[in-house]
Amino acid sequence: MCNAGDRSVLILYATETGTAQDVAERLARLCRRIHFSCRVFSTDKYSLSDLISEPLILFVVSTTGSGLEPRAMSLMWKTLLRSDLPVDLFEDLSFAVFGLGDSAYEKFCWPAKKLSRRFVSLGATEICDRGEGNDQDPLGVDEALESWLDKIMQVLVQAYPLPPDLEIIPAAAVPPARASMVQDTELDPPTPTGGFHLTTLRCNTRITAEDWYQDVRHLEFDFDEDIQYSPGDVAVIRPLASPSDVESFLDRMGWLDIADTPFRITHLMTDQSLPELMGEAVTPRTLFAQHLDFNSVPRRTFFNYLRYFTADELENEKLEEFLSREGADDLYEYCYRVRRTIREVLADFRHVTIPIDYVFDVFPPLRPRQFSIASSVKVFPRQIHLCVAIVKYRTTLKVPRRGVCTTYLASIRKGDKVRIALQQGLIKPTPVNNTPVICVGPGTGVAPMRALIQERLHIGPCDNTLYFGCRSATKDQHYGSEWRSYASTGALVYRTAFSRDGPEGTKRVYVQDVMQEDAQRLWKLIHAGASVLISGSSNKMPVAVKNALRFAAETYGQLSVDEAADFVSRMEEKGQLMEECWS
């Protein structure tokens, strides 16, 4: 334990979508209330060599895929797994962990659990029971987070008592703004690139039938320079909010008269982040078109801030009710069940007036979105292809919803400029042609499989199998003609499952059912060292596919149930079975 007078804490987070970062910043605000000095870093932005000198660390770790750590945590985890680390390495370190996950996945909060065990094994002291937030709970991760925050606050106050001249800052006190925004008409707001390439759209084609309920697009982008990426890598795209949406939002906020006025931004609370690539100056119109999100479903923090900025008694009473433990169900019904957006909430709470300095505290960043690359750079130099499902649905309020990024992608036309960054993916297949590969990619999960198969065929003859599933052979069989062409030359074994094409009342067939039919062939390929790659929706598919592999191991490998399960687990551990799935 560190000296009670040393009131400093390091908060490290590992995130894919930004939720863990939001939790880390809430944790920092809580720690400031008990007079801790906070430093907040993403795990990939922190010098790992300094870990050994830290007295107190609070970790916030999300889960990616089926139990994987976020990309940002990979280097730290590899370092912690080194076999030469002494068992008393962290004997002077106190720590606590909050994990974020989704119980729909097979390994719920797995990275957080592994991190806790590893630090304890290296001599560190875990000062608070690990928290585990579940996206499946009615209030999402907040359901577990609220009680964990109360618990960690009690633990810290007990372990590090406040000096006699200090008191806990009340929760009702308005936190200081993380930044100040001052009008400066002399400034010319820059356009930072930050690793994003300016690309040109060459193709935006719908590949599902026009009368089909889902709009899936094939997009192609040209780069002006040589690029490098591998099968399994992803394109990161920064979306733009609709100009009409931005205009109406600025009108609601009373900011139309300053919409195009440059503001100088000064970062005040450095333990609270600002949007990336924003620069030191920005106009409110650009801010809400490119950097801050007013169309997402708000987190609990948002409602907490609204309390500070309304003088209306009824609104304040309703917000207090939403934020109380007794009102949690009401908040769920009002906001999360119907997926009410920030803009819609502000339309209801019309007396809320948000000071311009607090925009970075109230509104979440408009985050870039990641899409698996559906092409090989060896086949298409200076190009990437994407396979994107355009997100459209109706809530129980009967209000149409559209994904911000996919709506943006659906709207762009040939010749339009789009900023794209390239990032390493979670699956890292080796496109060598002398090892068989089994690809399982239903729906848009077929995107990284297309990149891998293209690259393997470019290298030379190889043993490729693709299991593809969709609802209809004629409506949403993505790249079907391409797969059939490869299959006709013997370059690909193409196996399909069309779940809605059978007669009414018959059992629906999915990729895992076809794989079970092919169990004998699958076992021969796996026994010969074949890699298995899974990509697509995380609901039931990944677990069912692994069950099909276990069935093959039991039936044709003569393994017991436990041995088959252990065999598939070892495939995952050694990278013979890789998965990138999303909810």
* Binding site members: 15-20, 62-65, 135, 339, 369-372, 403-406, 444, 499-500, 508-512, 582
For every residue of 259-312, which 3-state class applies, written as one string?
CCCCEEEEECCCCCCCCCCCCCEECHHHHHHHHECCCCCCCHHHHHHHHHCCCC
If you write DSSP's letter for every residue of 198-231 in order, what string do you get?
Answer: EEEEEEEEE-S-TTSSS-EEEEEEE-SS-----T
Tokens matching residue 478: 């993505």
A 10 A CB-CB count for 403 gives 18
Q: How far apart are CA 460 and CA 434, in angstroms?
A: 9
> Residues annotated in the binding site for NADP(+), as ranges?
444, 499-500, 508-512
From the CA atom positions of the chain, what is the Rg in Å?
26
Q: How far apart are CA 437 and CA 325, in angstroms?
A: 51
> Residues annotated in the binding site for FAD, as ranges?
339, 369-372, 403-406, 582
What residues are paired with 423 via a beta bridge?
Answer: 234
Cα angle 372-219-390, degrees, rounded to a multiple of 5: 75
Are the C-beta atoms of residues 220 and 202 closer than 8 Å to each other? yes
Which of 483, 480, 427, 437 is CA-nearest to residue 459?
Answer: 437
Backbone angles phi, psi at 44, to 5 degrees: -85, -5
Tokens matching residue 411: 């709207």
Q: What is the DSSP letter of 577?
A: E
Tokens matching residue 394: 């109706």
Q: How far apart are CA 450 and CA 219, in angstroms?
A: 14
Q: What is the DSSP letter of 335?
A: I
> Residues annotated in the binding site for FMN, as ranges?
15-20, 62-65, 135
